[in-house]
Amino acid sequence: MSASVCYWLPWPVTVNAYYRSTPGGVKISSRGRAFANEVESCVHEQGGMRLSCRVSLRVELYPQTRRKYDADNVLKSLLDSLEKAGVLENDEQVWDLRVIKHDKEDGVCGARVTITPI
């Protein structure tokens, strides 16, 4: 079993802003695509690695404001972006998922994602 890898990523786009309805059907919004590109850059800057096995994810959310939010609303964009960045072959590899919400902290905003092969 390999060691865990940890990434600091930007604050995820909520599912409410991730999709847009178009005449051609539902598509990922420009905000969703921009977030995925940011995640890809962050992953590569932090020494991204590709995993093809089952994984456990620990997602720690550090909000940018004191507004209330539902943790599950940010998971779709986060997992899809990790797949697009090449960290995961497919987000169906996630067999164990833990999400931890933190209170707003000065100077800290985003998501810390720890991925452990299982």
Residue 92 has pLDDT above 70, yes or no: yes
Residue 68 vs residues 19, 33, 58, 62: alpha-carbon distances, Å: 21, 24, 20, 12
Tens digits of residue pLDDT in 42-90? 999 998 889 999 999 999 999 988 888 888 999 999 999 999 999 999 9
35 token code pair: 């977030």
Q: What pLDDT score does 2 carry?
A: 67
- Mean pLDDT (the chain, rounded): 92
Average pLDDT over residues 27-33: 94
pLDDT at 69: 85
CB 48 within 8 A of CB 59: no
CATH number of 50's domain:
3.30.1330.70
- pTM of structure: 0.89
Domain count for the chain, please give it: 1
With b meaning 16 or more CB within 10 Å and e meaning fewer, what string describes 49-76? eebeeebebbbbbbbeeeeeeeeeebbb
Containing structural domain, residue 22 = 5-117
What is the mean pLDDT of the segment spanning 26-38?
94
What contacts 16, CB < 8 A, 6 or more positions away? 73
